[in-house]
Chain A
Amino acid sequence: MSSSPISRRVFLKASGGVLAGTLAFASGPIALLAPTRSWAMPLDNLSSRQGEVLLAVTRQIFPHPDLEDAVYAMVVKSLDRQAESADFYQVLHEGIVELDEAAGGDWLALDDTAQLEILAPMNGKPFFATVRGDAVVSLYDNSLAFAHFGYEGEEGDGGYLTKGFNDLTWLPDPPQPEGGYLPFEEPTA
Chain B
Amino acid sequence: MAMTDNQKTFTHDDDSVVVVIGSGAGGGTLANELAQQGIDVVVLEAGALHTTADFLADEWASFAQLAWLDTRTTSGSFRLARDFPTLPAWIVKAVGGTTVHWAGASLRIQPHEFRALTHYGEVEGANLLDWPLGYDDLAPYYDRAEQRMGVTRTNGNKGLPGNNNFKVMYNGAKNLGYACNTGHMAINSEPRDGRAACQQRGFCFQGCKTGAKWSTLYTELPEGIATGHMELRPESHVARIEHDESGRVTAVVYFDADGNEQRQNARLVAVAGNSLETPRLLLNSASEMFPEGLANGSGQVGRNYMRHMTGSVYATFDEPVNMYRGTTMAGIISEESRHDPSRGFVGGYEMETLSLGLPFMAAFLDPGAWGPRFTGALDQYDHMAGMWLVGEDLPQESNRITLNHDVTDRFGLPVANVHYDDHPNDIAMREHGYRQGAELYRSVGAKDIYEVPPYPSTHNVGTCRMSERPEDGVCNGYGQTHQIPNLFISDGSQFTTSAAENPTLTIVSLAIRQAEHIGQLMRQGEV
Contact = CB atoms under 8 A, between A and B. Distances in A.
A64 B330 contact: no
Nearest to B357: A151
Interface in A50-104: 61-64, 66
B21 to A, nearest CB: 33
B200 A161 contact: yes
Contact of B372 (A1, A145, A151, A159): A1
A160 B325 contact: yes
A119 B36 CA distance: 64
Interface residues of A, number: 48
A81 to B, nearest CB: 15
A182 B191 CA distance: 11
Contacts of B363: 136-137
Contacts of A165: 161, 163-164, 200, 202, 325-326
Contact of A164 (B189, B198, B322, B444): B322
B379 interface: yes
Contact of B181 (A164, A166, A177, A183): A177
A170 B446 CA distance: 13
Interface string B343-380: 00000000000000111011100001011101100110
B374 A152 contact: no
B200 A61 contact: no
A139 B363 CA distance: 11
Contacts of B59: 141
Interface string B163-205: 1101110110000000111100000011100000111111100
Contacts of B60: 137, 141
A180 B160 contact: yes
A179 B381 contact: no
Contacts of B371: 61, 63
Contact of A140 (B58, B359, B370): B359
B382 A150 contact: yes
Interface residues of B, number: 60
Given A136-B363, A137-B60, A177 B326 contact: no
A153 B57 contact: yes
B209 A171 contact: no
A152 B355 CA distance: 13
B158 A139 contact: no
Given A149-B358, A166-B164, A183 B57 contact: no
A156 B201 contact: yes
Q: Is the interface of B mostly helix, strand, loop or mixed?
A: loop
Contacts of A166: 161-164, 167, 326
Contacts of B473: none
- Residue in A139, A146, A167, A168 whose Cβ sees the most chain B Cβ within 10 Å: A168
B203 A157 contact: yes
A150 to B, nearest CB: 3
- Residue in B158, B209, B444 whose Cβ sees the most chain A Cβ within 10 Å: B158
Contact of A171 (B167, B210, B326, B368): B167
Contact of B370 (A1, A132, A145, A156): A132
B321 interface: yes
Contact of A178 (B58, B159, B370): B159
Nearest to A164: B325
B340 interface: no
Contacts of A185: 158, 161
B320 interface: yes
B158 A180 contact: yes
Contact of A183 (B168, B189, B330): B189
B324 interface: yes
Contact of A151 (B197, B324, B374): B324
B431 interface: no
A83 to B, nearest CB: 21
Interface of A: 1, 61-64, 66, 123, 132, 136-137, 139-141, 145-146, 149-154, 156-161, 163-168, 170-174, 177-185, 187
Given A140-B378, A156-B325, 11 more contacts: A1-B372, A61-B370, A61-B371, A141-B59, A154-B57, A156-B201, A157-B201, A158-B201, A178-B179, A178-B182, A179-B161
